[in-house]
A and B are shown apart, each in its own frame.
Chain A
Amino acid sequence: MPAHLATPERTSQSDASSNPERRHRHLGALIGGIAAAVALVAALVATAGGGPMRAPAIGPLVRLGGGPPVSLPVVRAGTTPPITVHPTAVVFFASWCPPCRAELPTVARVARQEAASGGTVAFVGIDGNDEPAAGLAFVRASGVTFPVGEDPDSVVAPRFGLNGYPDTVFIGADGDVVGTVRGSISASTLRGWMGRLAAR
């Protein structure tokens, strides 16, 4: 504390501080501070790193609006084990989630362009924690053409380590989770990840 702030009150405080308890307090503060710092560093080290996660096998889920059921990962047609999978963008959303409503039409547009240009990246939607009827109306209004699985009890998202909506998960041809974009995704971020998936 700067000396110019010293006042009579401050002086009386100094008298009180000659109390031997003070030294213990300082020591306690020091130990506490060091313990907090050590614990923080330990946590940062412990949570850092970790290799790529294998995409969990999901499904078959009921397909929104009818049609063949939806499973993950998306297996490439006509292959025998070892299974190769389509590089896949898995889009998690719910009709009641405002950022999802803003995002899904963009994702749907990019997916249509990918399909029209004969691209390799498959799209799968997961309508989680939602009324199927509301989900279907939302998906139709957004111009979605890729298969969407119903997940009313939201069991799929937690298996990918996700904890909200929206999210986009990218699965490589080797079946590993290559990346996860939490929250709304923009068209340019989505295309960036699709390029990375195709290049693997």
Chain B
Amino acid sequence: MTSLSPALSGIRSHGVKARSYVALTKPRIIELLLVTTVPTMFVAKGGVPSVRLIALTLLGGALAAGGANAMNMVADRDIDRVMHRTRHRPLVTGEVTPTAALVFAIALEVWAFAELWAWVNLLSAVLALSATLFYVFVYTLWLKRTSSQNIVIGGAAGAVPVLVGWSAVTGTLSWAPVVLFAIIFIWTPPHFWALAIRYRDDYREAGIPMLPAVATIERTAVEIIAYTAALVAVTLVLTPVAHMGVLYTLSAAVLGALFLVSAVRLYRDRTPRAAIALFRYSITYLTLLFIAMAADVLVRLH
């Protein structure tokens, strides 16, 4: 080969490295955080937040969440090695060393905190950081390995971005963001348990007490139905608390009814297929619910 090939392979390996670091941040999970943050900002504003504020808040939130996810991968690499779903993560394959990943994660957190503090406000910065600390210490290091209610409590970390979005606009918190927080908090267990049913053998092998790994699918489905019913109720509570209009309320009712139907279908079916269908719908549900929220602010039908 020519003398160019070492240089070319160097470039290629940089590309692989970069992709590995991006994978550390779990971009798919970050996507979901953004879906909830932007509409929350519209509701908090009662109008249209400035594009600059939205961009800065999203950047800070994505950096903080990315750092938290990378820390989670460092802490969970022993589990990830055992589970099929996570076997290709960069820390398992050795593309990135744990030390490098940890330095990367801490750098992201510092960047996120400084960026939010400087360009948004201190409350948003602190909220984002506290979500990371909660996710890493309380969920990943403690509850995930010890409690079948791990995801119930751990869901709090994923619910914080709405608080960040709200405080970015208003500089403070009130009951409305608390209800938004509760929506994501209660949505998380049925969403995640549906996925965990599909991977329950994996969780068993890794010794992680995810509910479907330690309880029957029937029992899990009953819990999912209970949480879904509570979820629908809380989404409707948002209407009086945040002065939402007809568009949001109707959307919440219809989307929630479909969620319940999908949950009951899982109870009847008890197959991984029904579980995955529920998991997929749970993502569609949350996305459409929050889009309806933003649309409601813009249209204002009362």
Binding site for B on A (CB under 8 A): 1, 5-7, 9-10, 12-13, 16-17, 25-26, 28-29, 31-33, 35-37, 39-40, 42-44, 46-47, 94, 97-100, 102, 154, 157, 163-167, 182-184
Contact = CB atoms under 8 A, between A and B. Distances in A.
Contacts of B100: none
Interface stretch (B103-111, B126-134, B255-263, B274-282): B126-134
B292 interface: no
Given A26-B142, A99-B46, A184-B46, A1 B136 contact: no
Contacts of A6: 214
Contact of A43 (B49, B52, B127, B149): B127
Contacts of B147: 1
Contact of A164 (B50, B204, B209): B50
A16 B207 contact: yes
A128 B2 CA distance: 60
Of B47, B129, B146, B297, most A-chain CB atoms within 10 Å:
B47
A51 to B, nearest CB: 15
Given A10-B209, A25-B142, A163-B53, A97 B127 contact: no
Most buried by A among B50, B123, B145: B50
B126 A164 contact: no
- Counting contact residues on chain B (CB < 8 A from A), the size range is 35 or more
Given A99-B298, A182-B45, 10 more contacts: A5-B214, A7-B214, A10-B148, A17-B146, A29-B138, A42-B126, A163-B49, A164-B48, A164-B53, A165-B48
B172 interface: yes
Interface string B278-302: 0000000000000000000111100
Contacts of B130: 36-37, 39-40
A29 B137 contact: yes
Contacts of A164: 45, 47-50, 53, 169
Contact of B169 (A12, A102, A163): A163
Contacts of A1: 146-149, 209
B204 A9 contact: yes
- Chain A binding surface, main DSSP class: helix
A99 B300 contact: yes
A157 B48 CA distance: 13
Interface of B: 45-50, 52-53, 121-123, 125-127, 129-130, 133-134, 136-138, 141-142, 145-149, 169-172, 204, 207-209, 213-215, 297-300
Contacts of B46: 99, 182-184
Contact of B50 (A17, A29, A163): A163
Given A35-B133, A43-B123, A17 B145 contact: yes
A167 B129 CA distance: 30
Given A35-B133, A97-B47, A47 B122 contact: yes
B141 A43 contact: no
Contacts of A182: 45-47, 169-170
A183 B45 contact: yes
A167 B136 CA distance: 39
Contacts of A46: 122
A36 to B, nearest CB: 4
B141 A28 contact: yes
B133 A32 contact: yes
Most chain-B CB neighbours within 10 Å: which of A25, A29, A35, A98? A29
Of B52, B125, B138, B141, most buried by chain A (CB within 10 Å of CB) is: B141
A32 B140 CA distance: 12
5 contacts: A1-B147, A33-B137, A36-B130, A99-B48, A182-B170
B214 A33 contact: no
Contacts of A44: 123
A17 B171 CA distance: 42
A70 to B, nearest CB: 21
Most-contacted residue by chain A among B45, B136, B213 (CB, 10 A): B45
Nearest to B131: A36
Nearest to B147: A1
Contact of A184 (B145, B213, B300): B300
A153 to B, nearest CB: 12
Given A29-B137, A36-B134, A43-B122, A13 B48 contact: no
Nearest to B167: A47
A40 B47 contact: no
Q: Which 4 A-B pairs have the closest CB atoms?
A: A183-B46, A32-B137, A43-B126, A29-B142
